[in-house]
Amino acid sequence: MKFKITYADGTNVDLDGGKISSNGLYTTDTQGQIKISGITGTVIVEEIEALPGYVLDPNAKKRTVVVNANDTQTLTFENTPVGGVEIIKVDEKDRTKRLANVTFEIRRMDDGLVDTVTTDKDGHVLLDLDAGDYYAVETQAADGYKLDNTPTYFAVEDGKPTVVTITNKAFSGILIHKIDSATRKGIYGVTFLLYDANMNPVDQFTTDQNGYAYVDTLELSGKVFLRELSNKGYIVDEQLKTVYVKPGETTEITWENTAITAQIQITKKSADYNPTNGLPAGTLLQGAVFEIYDKAGNLVDTIRSDSRGLAVSRPLPLERYTIREVKAPANYGVNENELTAYLEHEGQIVRFEVTNKSMMTGVSITKTGPSEVMAGQPVRYNFSGIANSSNVRLDSFYWRDVPPAEVRLDTVITGTYNFPGVYKITYRVNGGEPRTLADNLSTSKNYTLAASSVALGLASNERVTEIMFVFGQAPAGFAQVEKPALLCTAVSKIASTSFVNVADVGGVYNGTWVQAISRWVTKVYGTPAKPKLPRTGY
């Protein structure tokens, strides 16, 4: 446990009467103690960091004590354990040997995955958990140990750490690691045949998802032989390998293979005439970026179209691949159609032609309201034409209104929108941080939401200074159907004036904001003065 120890004047308490500087930082020893000698005066001791599995008590983490000459003061700090599980991974024969880099899945008894954890260099991992019944399943063993996926069951109680010790038996036999000669990654599904010293077939083994094959059924020692039988997507290494096996030891073999490769080529063209750069349909386009993923979902290559419109992958092992365009050439929209390539034989080139439409971005909003209002009277603002008029999707799409100081917001009528989805409405008070008025609103429903000062619990000196509709993604053609509106009230006792109300809409494409603004001017007439009548009579 770590502590900060200082004198009352803020200077650090150092070791050996100040001869050795520690910056006032101390850590408890294996007995949970810190001993400092040769100091006098008023000392402040603060616990600043607890061990995993324990929490600091904020009300008792700092103590002040006066130390006199020839005096010993003892301070005791207590820490509350956190409810959870502590997994300790050890060697089956030597339990003092901790095993690092062992990965477990922690699951509830209803088979729900809670988390995936890996032991540290001390063979230890700690995970905070709610009270309940769980089990741990090993998914990755330590080097030199065979995977044991037998579930280990345990229960967790609130405020009590559960310690689970799990053993692994050191692997004895032959450990084959089959890897790609270029990427150094393990190769799945490679089959080997094991022969004894007289070249008699003994057993057959296949590599796992990490490229390992464990030959652990040996009842023989001395010289044995291994032959590779099959290796889909790779050139089979037909060399017979000789291995010398020693009882109780593990012989490790790293065996490389060269992939049988093929290639993906993409030709990028303009789908139409581009009014921005004047390029006609069919023009070869430079600068499109594609990502290529293998069937396991791993990114294996990123390619970019050159001046000839060609994007070419590196040689790839035979497999099924998915290609996605992630960046379009300048002034064009991304083609969001996914491509699937099947590389089936050596030297194959799978070709695609991908077009991009000219990018046109735009958004719109129109705000209207009364031209004239009286102080203290209702004010209704209507909104129309709210839309993403682009031919590409916009991210972070919103529309917003900024009520002027001359009115107070009462009610929000949301309107409806032509694409299914959900959105939320936020508001600001006196220009502060956004607050949520409503969330998970359906774009197909028209809501009426109370937003007055009373409904929002605002003080007399507070008012709503912004109302924002937050949609997230808005596809091309997204538009409002039923008109939204804001119902307000002009403040009382204001002089004749005019004010501007501003609304805006926007979204992001390729990191650039696309926005539009609408303004509405309203004239306010104050309460007319009482006319002075002429005096009559005598």
CATH number, domain of 314, equals: 2.60.40.10
Do 346 and 472 have their domain in common?
no
Do 206 and 252 have their domain in common?
yes
Alpha-carbon separation of residue 399 from 164, 413, 506 (angstroms): 54, 14, 7
Q: What is the pLDDT of residue 331?
A: 86
Out of 356, 389, 413, a domain closes at 356
Do 338 and 389 have their domain in common?
no
Q: Convert 362-400 into a string of H (helix), E (strand) and C (coil).
A: CEEEEEECCCEEECCCEEEEEEEEEEECCCCCEEEEEEE
57 in a domain, yes or no?
yes
Do 373 and 508 have their domain in common?
yes
Do 205 and 247 have their domain in common?
yes
253 in a domain, yes or no?
yes
- Better-predicted residue by pLDDT, 220 or 493: 493
Tokens of 187: 């190769």
Out of 312, 332, 356, a domain closes at 356
Q: How do residues 442-462 score in pLDDT, each as one tens digit?
A: 999 999 999 999 999 999 999
> How far is residue 410 CA from its own chain's centroid?
38
286 in a domain, yes or no?
yes
Do 395 and 512 have their domain in common?
yes
Do 371 and 518 have their domain in common?
yes
Mean pLDDT, the chain, integer: 88
Q: How do residues 284-327 score in pLDDT, each as one tens digit?
A: 999 999 999 998 898 999 999 999 999 999 999 888 999 999 99
Q: How do residues 102-133 score in pLDDT, each as one tens digit?
A: 999 999 887 688 899 999 988 988 888 888 88
- Rounded CA-CA distance 246/218 in Å is 10
Verdict on whether the full-model pTM lies above 0.75: no
Mean pLDDT of 203-213: 89
> How many residues are recorded in the chain?
538
Cα dihedral sign, 465-487-379-526:
negative
Among residues 55, 77, 109, the alpha carbon closest in space to that of 4 is found at 77
Q: What is the pLDDT of residue 188?
A: 87
493 in a domain, yes or no?
yes
Do 391 and 521 have their domain in common?
yes
Do 378 and 403 have their domain in common?
yes
533 in a domain, yes or no?
no
Of 271-280, 432-441, 474-483, minimum mean pLDDT range? 271-280
Out of 46, 61, 79, a domain closes at 79
Domain that holds residue 268: 261-356
Among residues 523, 528, 526, the alpha carbon closest in space to that of 379 is found at 523
Q: How do residues 248-279 score in pLDDT, each as one tens digit?
A: 677 888 999 888 889 999 999 999 998 878 89
Do 59 and 191 have their domain in common?
no
534 in a domain, yes or no?
no
508 in a domain, yes or no?
yes
Q: How confident is the model at residue 19 (pLDDT cuts 50, 70, 90)?
A: very low
Q: What is the pLDDT of residue 44?
A: 93
Do 409 and 487 have their domain in common?
yes
530 in a domain, yes or no?
no
- What is the bridge-based pairing of β-strands 161-168 and 84-91? parallel
Nearby residues of 427 by Cβ (< 8 Å), 6 or more positions away: 409, 434, 435, 437, 451, 456, 464, 466, 467, 468
The structural domain count of the chain equals 5
Among residues 151, 170, 372, 363, the alpha carbon closest in space to that of 252 is found at 170
Among residues 346, 347, 351, the alpha carbon closest in space to that of 232 is found at 346
Do 381 and 514 have their domain in common?
yes
